[in-house]
């Protein structure tokens, strides 16, 4: 049994935890280890007997003493799995240095990046640093053509649809005349913070119109740590009781299956969260995307689903009646993408098998 270290975004974010669920279930003959200091993850993945969580404090000590090779020598490979894991943030150099040290501890034939997109980025330095890093791994599979095109000259670079497109779950009956809305807190995003009030007001208008049409509303929080519940609270505080009393709220608390069941029971989805848009197509739901990042548009364009959408910057011009009149018809046209998504694991499959 191969022993593999997995590095992901451990913030109890539903989309990223879903990546891990898919990974662990696909490779139940691999011993996976997560280096995470959030004890919630022991509970979230407790049912997977092939998953371990190690003592992060010990790892921090080893890293401080620059003894990474001793730390990682018991693992056969390392898998980086995540979506927006290459953004040029203020502390990107610290993250890059951490990844570089991991690279030095593993043979290049045992380093994998799965399910990612590249950017947004501004500097040539950021791009050049990662170009060098990517050239020293076994496989890097992007989830959008824009990212792939930046590094297509690398022999180890590939592209395949987002990992979540291949999700397989039990069927559940749709709640008749229902609408799910996924939300994000714009206060955490410098380039979008000025649109927070407009965003809240528009969602409030959509909810009022939907409830007036006797549509059942559920507000979905994919990541409480990133402020999803805060924005939901602000929205509900802007609604009279005659509306707020008819709203359900679902906050992801680490119970992946429960959250999935609640989400896929919706007939239609208004999605701000990236994976709300992806999951809506997995479950055959009508979708209206409210786009906060180019990564969402890039993916929707590649699956030919850009007849209906609005960028957050253009929300003032959005008509809530139009959304509710058209949403049920806005669905993916080509189902082959669900099979193509499995290509994300093509190289890792071969490594695990042999």
Q: What is the pLDDT of residues 15-38, one digit of tens each?
A: 999 999 999 999 999 999 998 878
What are the structural domains, with CATH classification, of the chain?
Answer: 3-166+338-353 (3.40.50.2000), 178-329 (3.40.50.2000)
Per-position DSSP letters for 96-141, written without gaps between them: HHHHHHHHHHS-GGGEEEEEE-B-----HHHHHHHHHHHTTSSEEE
Indicate whether 133 pLDDT > 70.
yes
Provide mean pLDDT across the span 260-274: 97
Cα separations (Å) of 287 from 15, 201, 230, 269?
A: 17, 20, 23, 5
Query: Are the CB atoms for 253 and 44 separated by under 8 Å?
Result: no
Cα separations (Å) of 82 from 85, 232, 241, 331?
A: 6, 25, 40, 25
- Residue 316: both structure tokens together: 């003032």
* pLDDT (tens digit per residue) in 62-88: 666 666 667 788 899 999 999 999 999
pLDDT confidence tier of residue 55, bands split at 50, 70 and 90: low
Nearest of 317, 201, 199, 181 to residue 250 by alpha carbon: 181
Q: What is the pLDDT of residue 67?
A: 66
pLDDT confidence tier of residue 278, bands split at 50, 70 and 90: very high
């Amino acid at each position: 049994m191969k022993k593999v270290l997995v590095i992901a975004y451990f913030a109890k974010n539903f989309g990223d935890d879903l990546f891990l669920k898919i990974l662990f279930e696909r490779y139940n003959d691999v011993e996976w280890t997560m280096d995470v200091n959030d004890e919630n993850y022991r509970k979230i993945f407790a049912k997977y007997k092939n998953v371990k969580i190690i003592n992060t404090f010990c790892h921090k000590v080893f890293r401080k003493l620059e003894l990474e090779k001793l730390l990682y020598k018991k693992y056969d490979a390392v898998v980086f799995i995540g979506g927006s894991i290459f953004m040029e943030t203020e502390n990107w150099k610290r993250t890059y240095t951490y990844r570089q040290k991991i690279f030095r501890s593993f043979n290049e034939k045992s380093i994998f990046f799965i399910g990612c997109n590249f950017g947004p980025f501004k500097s040539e330095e950021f791009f050049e640093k990662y170009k060098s890093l990517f050239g020293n791994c076994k496989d890097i599979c992007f989830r959008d053509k824009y990212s792939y095109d930046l590094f297509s000259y690398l022999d180890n670079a590939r592209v395949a649809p987002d990992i979540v497109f291949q999700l397989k779950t039990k069927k559940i009956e749709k709640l008749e005349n229902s609408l799910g809305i996924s939300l994000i807190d714009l206060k955490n995003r410098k380039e979008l913070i000025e649109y927070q009030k407009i965003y809240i007001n528009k969602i409030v208008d959509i909810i009022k119109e939907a409830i007036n049409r006797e549509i059942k509303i559920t507000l979905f929080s994919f990541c409480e740590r990133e402020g999803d519940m805060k924005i939901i609270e602000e929205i509900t505080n802007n609604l009279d009781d005659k509306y707020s009393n008819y709203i359900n709220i679902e906050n992801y608390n680490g119970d992946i299956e429960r959250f999935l069941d609640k989400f896929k029971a919706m007939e239609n989805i208004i999605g701000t969260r990236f994976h709300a848009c992806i999951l809506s197509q997995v479950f055959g739901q009508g979708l209206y995307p409210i786009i906060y990042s180019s990564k969402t548009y890039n993916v929707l364009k590649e699956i030919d689903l850009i007849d209906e959408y609005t960028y957050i910057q253009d929300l003032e011009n959005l008509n809530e009646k139009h959304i509710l009149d058209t949403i049920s018809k806005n669905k993916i046209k080509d189902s082959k993408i669900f099979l193509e998504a499995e290509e994300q694991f093509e190289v890792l499959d071969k490594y695990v098998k042999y």
